[in-house]
A and B are shown apart, each in its own frame.
Chain A
Amino acid sequence: MGISKNTQRAIEVFVLIVAAIFVMPIILVFITSFKPEPEIIRFQGILPIQWTLENFREILGNPEEIPIFRWLLNSLFISSMVTLLVLTVSSMAAYALARLNLPGGRILFFLIIATLMVPPQILLVPVYLILNPLGWLDTPLALIIPAGAGAFGVFLLHQFFKGIPKDLEEAAAIDGCSKLGIYWHVILPLSKPALATLGIFTFIGSWNDFMGPLIFLDSVEKYTLPVGIALFQTSYYAEYGLTLAASVICTFPIIVVFLFFHKFIIRGIAMSGLKE
Chain B
Amino acid sequence: MSNQTPLPEPQEQLPAVGPTARGVENYRGNARRRIIRRYSGYLFLAPYLVLFFSFLILPLIYGFWLSLVDYEMLSPEPPGFVGLDNYSEAMDDPYFWQAMKATGLYVGMAVPLGIGLALLMAVLIDSLPQKRQGFYRLMIFMPTMITITVAGLVWRWFYHSEFGLFNAMLERFDIWVPWLTDTTWAMRSIVLMSVWWTIGVPLVILMAGLKQIPVSYYEAAAIDGATGYRRFLYITFPLLRPILLFVVVLSIIGSFQVFGQTFIITEGGPELATRVIMHYIYDTAFNFYRMGYGAAMSWILFAVIIVFSLLQFRIFRER
Chain B residues with a Cβ under 8 A of chain A: 38-42, 44-45, 47-49, 51-52, 54-60, 62-63, 66, 121, 124-125, 127-128, 132, 136-143, 145-150, 153-158, 163, 165, 168-169, 196, 199, 201, 204-205, 207-209, 212, 215, 218, 221-222, 227-228, 231, 242-243, 246-247, 253, 256-257, 259-260, 264, 278, 281-282, 285-286, 291, 294-295, 298-299, 301-302, 305-306, 309
| Shortest distance between the CB of B201 and any CB in chain A (Å) | 6
Q: What residues on A are CB-neighbors of B306 within 8 Å?
A: 117
Does A102 contact B154, Cβ atoms closer than 8 Å? no
Whether B149 pairs with A204 at a CB distance below 8 angstroms is no
A273 vs B188: C-alpha distance when bound (angstroms):
28
Q: Which residues of chain B have C-beta atoms less than 8 A from A96's C-beta?
A: 41-42, 44-45
Q: Give 8 A-B contacts (CB < 8 Å), ordered by A residue.
A: A93-B49, A121-B257, A129-B291, A148-B55, A154-B48, A229-B153, A230-B264, A262-B141
CA distance A148 to B241 in the complex (A): 33
B294: nearest residue on chain A (CB-CB)? A125
From DSSP, what is the main secondary structure of chain B's interface residues? helix
Contact B60–A123 (Cβ < 8 Å)? yes
Chain A binding site: helix, strand, loop or mixed by DSSP?
helix
A266 proximity list for chain B (CB < 8 A): 137-138, 141, 204
Q: Does A177 contact B (CB under 8 A)?
A: no
| B39 A274 Cβ-Cβ under 8 A | no
CB pair B41 A179 closer than 8 Å = yes
User: Which residue, of B141, B150, B169, B306, has the highest number of chain A Cβ atoms within 10 A?
Assistant: B150
A95 to B218, CA, bound (A): 40
Report yes or no: A22 in contact with B51, Cβ–Cβ below 8 A.
no
Please, how many angstroms separate the alpha-carbon atoms of A251 and B218 in the complex? 42
Residue in chain A with minimal CB distance to B309: A117
Which residue from chain A places its CB closest to the CB of B39 in the assembled complex?
A: A103
What's the least CB distance linking B206 to chain A, in Å? 8
Interface residue stretch chosen among A60-68, A84-92, A163-171? A84-92
A200 to chain B, nearest CB (A): 11
Least Cβ distance of A247 to chain B in Å? 4
**Is B54 touching A130 in the complex (CB atoms < 8 A)?**
yes
Q: Which residues of A contact B44 (CB under 8 A)?
A: 92-93, 95-96, 100, 179, 183
A3 at the interface (CB under 8 A from B): yes
Q: Which residues of A in the span 143-189 have a Cβ within 8 Å of any Cβ on B? A: 145-146, 148-151, 154, 179, 183
Cross-interface CB contact of B66 among A14, A103, A126, A270, cutoff 8 Å: A126
Query: What residues of chain A lie closer than 8 Å to B242, measured between beta carbons?
Result: 276
B143 near A16: Cβ-Cβ < 8 Å: no
Question: B302 touching A122 by the CB < 8 A rule?
Answer: yes
- Give 1 or 0 for each of A111-124: 1 = CB within 8 Å of chain B CB: 01001011101111
Chain A positions 18-58 with a Cβ under 8 Å from a chain B Cβ: 18-20, 22-23, 25-26, 28-29, 40-43
Per a CB cutoff under 8 Å, which of B41, B148, B149, B196 touches A102? B41
Residue interface bits A93-107, CB-to-B below 8 A is 1, else 0: 101110011110100
Q: A1-B127, A101-B38, A117-B306 are in contact. List 14 more A-B contacts (CB 8 A).
A: A2-B227, A23-B143, A28-B154, A93-B45, A103-B39, A117-B309, A122-B299, A122-B302, A148-B51, A149-B55, A215-B286, A254-B145, A273-B208, A274-B243
* Closest chain A residue, CB of each to CB of B290: A125
Taking a contact as CB atoms closer than 8 A, the residue among A90, A125, A149, A274 that contacts B295 in the complex is: A125
Question: Bound state CA distance, A43 and B228, in angstroms?
Answer: 43
**Minimum Cβ distance to chain B for residue A191 (Å):** 14
CA distance A233 to B268 in the complex (A): 14
Chain B's closest residue to A130 (CB) is B59
- In the complex, which residues of chain A have a beta carbon less than 8 angstroms from the beta carbon of B205? 269-270, 272-274
Q: Are B158 and A41 touching (Cβ within 8 A)?
A: no
Whether A102 pairs with B42 at a CB distance below 8 angstroms is: yes
- Residues of A near B42 (CB, < 8 A) are 96, 102
> Which 9 pairs, one residue from A and one from B, show the smallest C-beta to C-beta distance?
A273-B205, A270-B208, A43-B168, A100-B41, A93-B48, A126-B59, A96-B44, A149-B55, A19-B139
B157-A240 in contact (CB<8A)? yes
